[in-house]
Structure 1
Amino acid sequence: MSSYRINALTTWAAQQNGLTQADISLSSAVGDASFRRYYRLTLPDGNTQVVMDAPPDQEDSQPFVIIARRWRSAGLPVPKVHATNLADGFLLLEDLGNTPLQHLFSGDATTQAYHAQALTLIAELQNRANPDSLPAYDTALLGRELDLFPEWCLSAWLTLPPPNSWQAIREQLIQHALAQPVVTVHRDYDAMNLMMHDQRLFMIDFQDAVAGPLSYDVISLLRGRYCRFSSEQFANFVEAFYHQARRDGRLPSSVDFATFLSQCHAMAAQRSLKVLGIFCRLTLRDQKSGYLERLPHFLDHLEDSLSALSSSNVPEQVAFAEWVKLTLRPAIMKRLAEMPS
């Protein structure tokens, strides 16, 4: 960040609190995979706020502000927006502390309990936030996300052609997603985007929210970057969510559990393929480090999902699962082994 921009950000943040730049201190908080950066602002009385720096030529902060205010008005736990400067890309936000959910994972029972709590928050989000004003998670968007996998993971990083089963799998995964009820979807509902603050989970990084499949945020959480649950644990979590969604009316009684579980596995496969593509793009295009070493974890997620799907004996699903096991996994592991340590 240039000294000019940090000076402008500090001056603006001080003015929003009726102070001068000399009255406050600013320290780096955390960055993320985008071009956004976060700073902790300490006021003379010791209270703190968070300043988001999102260069407007690279990030559009307006969706974040609109969604934050709308969800907060609906009683959902999101940070309060104290002030905005969209022209310069500065936001002044409530400070939710330094405890993302993954920092609380300690032992199987505790980890499962926090995941159950996070699933309850998904239900609150779907029950309280109207999806009508959000962009649609439609065929085009689902397809663009899936296409990140052959473009960036296979072609750009591995120089590997997609299998013959790819187009059929792509279409089947899209249809599984579109068959589900449409709800508000956070779209990156992983533990790192859930903050524990005042004994309550708060959602952050929701600027890409869409109107989309009921199971998407469930999958973001259960097939995220920090845990790999057994097939039994996964099914138990999904079943608890399923029954709650039925009781709340978010899922019609005509959808049985086996169907919903299959939709969840398909959604998990879609997201894992997307993530494999995104992590390669972040590395190759955006020159960001630390993503390629996470590929095996999401490859495990992908194989778990495909194993469950291929049990239905759909030929393309069986063929794709075999290709992932016998071609994709060896290619990824070989490429990672060749990287300098």
Structure 2
Amino acid sequence: MDVTDRIDDFLRRHGLAGAARAPLTGDASARRYIRLTGADGRSLLLMDTPAPADDLVPFIAIGRLLARLGFSVPTIVAADSAAGLALLEDFGDDTFSRLLAAGADPEPLYDLATDVLIALHQRFRPDDAEELGIPLYDTRLFAEQVMLFADVYIPVATGATLHPVDRYALETAWMSVIVPACEGPWSLLLRDYHIDNLMRLPRDGVRAAGLLDFQNAGVGPVAYDLASLLEDARRDVPADLAAAMTSRYLDAFPGLNAAAFRRSMAVLGAVRHARVIAIFARLALRDGRRAYLDHLPRVWRLLEGHLARPELAPVAAWFDQHLPPDKRGGFIIPEAVQ
């Protein structure tokens, strides 16, 4: 059964064969979303994923956990995990990013986004996730993920694959800074926590933020999602706003070592930026999705800012030796690589 027949069959089984269909703009994944509008005017979202075991199954399980903890996630109206299809509650179009583009005051939106993380880290308990089988974002996994930069970006920028000795040296440098960054409290990491994945809803408290794209959640250091929110690959977040939100978070946890938290934020932010640079390069080269390259200068600025900090000194030293400045933010990824 091809994709169209699979969707037609699913919608027919759920009484939506005649619903109007409007594809929505996708993200960096292979998932796609279609807004369905029935004859009664009610709208739902169709989620279609080619990798249901990686996307749909964890989306449903983690969504149930988040709902139980008191957060707003799309209600699952119907799902066929084998087919990779689900009907979701439609939260509308008011993503935080669209509201900001329309001129909304950013501070209340970032206050709300930060308060969601505060509430999540107050409510979540490790045994909440024991049955979900979600990954632990420990030093090993962070180091493994950040090395995508070595395997994807560096060969494009330098024209050569890293020698195994140099690759090992980079991995060792990353490990040396990741280990202390992973000390301290852990919680549920939503991992793609940024304003494109948050929606403003007419609800009270933290439920006013609708959460999207949490299927890649894991358990790990609490600083990661705040770094994801405040060091956005797609949007410049003013330094004073980022500082205010970091203070807002820390004020909610007076027992937390603030200096250690900020160091963890810097290291995990650098890990995320290096990986994002590699992902955007891969999307451009493998899939022809070159629009993501527009964000690379910003991500490089964020990464360079962290490399200047003492806690990233081992990684910065490796970069200084093996990746000259002209192969970093200013490097233009070619249309094709021979």
The TM-score with structure 1 as length reference comes to 0.84
Greater RCO (CA < 8 Å, at least 6 residues apart): 2
The answer as to 2:6 corresponding to 1:11 is no
1:261 alignment partner AA: R
The answer as to 2:80 corresponding to 1:85 is yes
1:298 alignment partner AA: V
Question: Which secondary structure state, in structure 2, belongs to the residue aligned with residue 68 of structure 1?
Answer: helix
Alpha-carbon contact 2:296-2:329 (below 8 Å) kept: no
Corresponding residue of 2:136: 136
Deviation at 1:35, TM superposition (A): 1.5
Corresponding residue of 2:68: 73
Alpha-carbon contact 2:150-2:167 (below 8 Å) kept: no
Q: Distance in 2 between matches of 1:110 and 1:158?
A: 42
Question: Which secondary structure state, in structure 1, belongs to the residue aligned with residue 253 of structure 2?
Answer: helix
Q: Distance in 2 between matches of 1:228 and 1:276?
A: 16
Alpha-carbon contact 1:65-1:81 (below 8 Å) kept: yes
Q: Distance in 2 between matches of 1:337 and 1:285?
A: 12
The TM-score with structure 2 as length reference comes to 0.85
Alignment of 1:80-159 (within 5 A): 80-105=75-100, 110-131=105-126, 132-133=129-130, 134-159=134-159
Corresponding residue of 2:326: 330
The answer as to 2:243 corresponding to 1:221 is no
Which is further off, 188-197 or 166-175?
166-175
Corresponding residue of 1:177: 181
Question: Which secondary structure state, in structure 1, belongs to the residue aligned with residue 40 of structure 2?
Answer: coil
Deviation at 1:277, TM superposition (A): 1.5
The answer as to 2:28 corresponding to 1:27 is no
Alpha-carbon contact 2:52-2:83 (below 8 Å) kept: no
Alpha-carbon contact 1:76-1:124 (below 8 Å) kept: no
Q: 1:21-49: per-residue Cα shift (whole Å, max 9, x none)?
A: 2x322221232222211001111110100
Which is further off, 53-62 or 290-299?
53-62
Q: Distance in 1 between matches of 2:73 and 2:104?
A: 27
1:218 alignment partner AA: L
Corresponding residue of 1:249: none
Q: Which residue of 218, 225, 240 corresponds with 1:210?
A: 218
1:125 alignment partner AA: L
Alpha-carbon contact 1:279-1:291 (below 8 Å) kept: yes
Gap runs ≥5 in structure 1: 247-252
2:5 alignment partner AA: N
Deviation at 1:163, TM superposition (A): 8.8
Q: Distance in 2 between matches of 1:137 and 1:332?
A: 27
Alpha-carbon contact 1:56-1:86 (below 8 Å) kept: no
2:284 alignment partner AA: T
Alpha-carbon contact 1:193-1:204 (below 8 Å) kept: yes
Q: CA RMSD in A?
A: 2.8
Alignment of 1:282-297 (within 5 A): 282-297=283-298
Give the percent of matched residue pairs that are identical in Structure 1 and Structure 2. Answer: 26
1:97 alignment partner AA: G
Question: Which secondary structure state, in structure 2, belongs to the residue aligned with residue 336 of structure 1?
Answer: coil
Alpha-carbon contact 1:56-1:87 (below 8 Å) kept: no
Alpha-carbon contact 2:285-2:335 (below 8 Å) kept: no
Q: 1:216-263: per-residue Cα shift (whole Å, max 9, x none)?
A: 1001100112333455543332122112133xxxxxx2x432222122
Alpha-carbon contact 1:137-1:211 (below 8 Å) kept: yes
Corresponding residue of 1:238: 246
Alpha-carbon contact 1:187-1:206 (below 8 Å) kept: yes
